[in-house]
Chain A
Amino acid sequence: MVNRPISPHLQIYKPQLTSVLSITHRGTGVFLCLGILLLTTWLVCLALGEESYNIFYKHTTSWYGKLFLISFIFSLFYHLTNGIRHLFWDFGLGLDLSTTYKSGYVMLCISILLTLTTLILGDVLTI
C-alpha cells in the first residue's frame, strides 16, 4: 500500500465518453469479481457431486441466473476489449484525443457485437 496521489471523485467531472468508458471499465471489473466467485461456486458444486450441481443448475437457468450470465458475458467482453485498448495506450499508441474517441466507439461496438454473437451462437437465452 502506497500513499500516492489519488484520483478526484467522479462527481467533479462532467460526463464525457472518455470518462464514462473509463469508469465502466472499473465497474465491469468489480462485477466480474462477483462473476469469478460464481465460477468458483460452480466448480465447488461440480466437485461435490451431481445433487449439488443440479441445485446450482436450477438457479443459473432461472431468469435471474440468465440475467446475471448475460451481464457477465457483456462485462467480460467490455473489460477485455477496453483492456486491449488500455494495453495499446501503455505502449504510447492512440493517446491523442480524436483517436481515443474513435477507439472508444469502436471498442463499444465490438463488445456489444461480440456479446450478441455469443448469446445467439451459444443459445444462452433459451432454456
Chain B
Amino acid sequence: MYKYIVNVDNVDSWRCANNMKISKAFHILISSSEPVKHWWAQRLSAAILVPLNLWFIYSITFMSKANYETVTVWLSSKTNSILMLIFILIIYYHAVLGLQVIIEDYVATEWRKKILLFFVKATATIAALSALISTIVIFMEY
C-alpha cells in the first residue's frame, strides 16, 4: 500500500489511501525522498568542488616537490588553510556519496552492503578528522 502513497502528489488521495493518517504518509514521503536528497547533495558538492579543484591541482603540483619549510609556510597562510579545510570536508563528503552508489549498485547481499558502507563511512570520518586536525595544527604552529 505504501507505493501508492509515495507516487501521488495529490494530498487528498493520500488521505483516501487505506485511511492512513496524514502524518504517517508525510513520514513515508520524507523517507522516500532519501535518493533525491542524495542526488542533490552529490551535485551540489560536485559544483563547489569545480573551482576548489583548480586551486588544489595548482597547489599539489607545485608542493609535490617542495621542502618542509616551503610547504608549511604555504599551508599556514590564512587563505590556503581555510581552503584546505573546506576542500577536505567537501571532498570526503563527495567521496562517501559516490562510494555509496557504487556499493548499492554492485553489492547484492544486504548485510555485505551494510558492512561495507559502515566501513567506508568510518574510514572517511577518521581520515577527514585527521586531515582537518593536521591542517589546524600546521596553521597554529607556523
Contacts and interface: CB of A to CB of B under 8 A. Distances in A.
Given A1-B113, A36-B91, A36-B92, A30 B72 contact: no
Given A30-B99, A90-B43, A43 B57 contact: no
Question: What range describes how many residues of B lie at the interface?
Answer: 35 or more
Contact of B104 (A4, A30, A47, A87): A4
Contact of A1 (B61, B108, B117, B133): B117
Interface string B57-97: 10011101101100110010000000010001001100100
Nearest to A49: B68
Interface string B121-141: 000000110110111011001
Given A36-B95, A61-B65, A118-B57, A83 B50 contact: yes
B32 to A, nearest CB: 8
A21 interface: no
Interface in A19-41: 26, 29-30, 32-33, 36-37, 39-40
Given A1-B114, A6-B108, A47-B141, 9 more contacts: A1-B113, A36-B91, A40-B127, A40-B128, A46-B138, A47-B134, A80-B50, A87-B46, A122-B64
Interface of A: 1-2, 4, 6-7, 9, 26, 29-30, 32-33, 36-37, 39-40, 43-44, 46-47, 50, 53-54, 57, 60-61, 69, 73, 76-77, 80, 83-84, 86-87, 90, 118, 121-124, 127
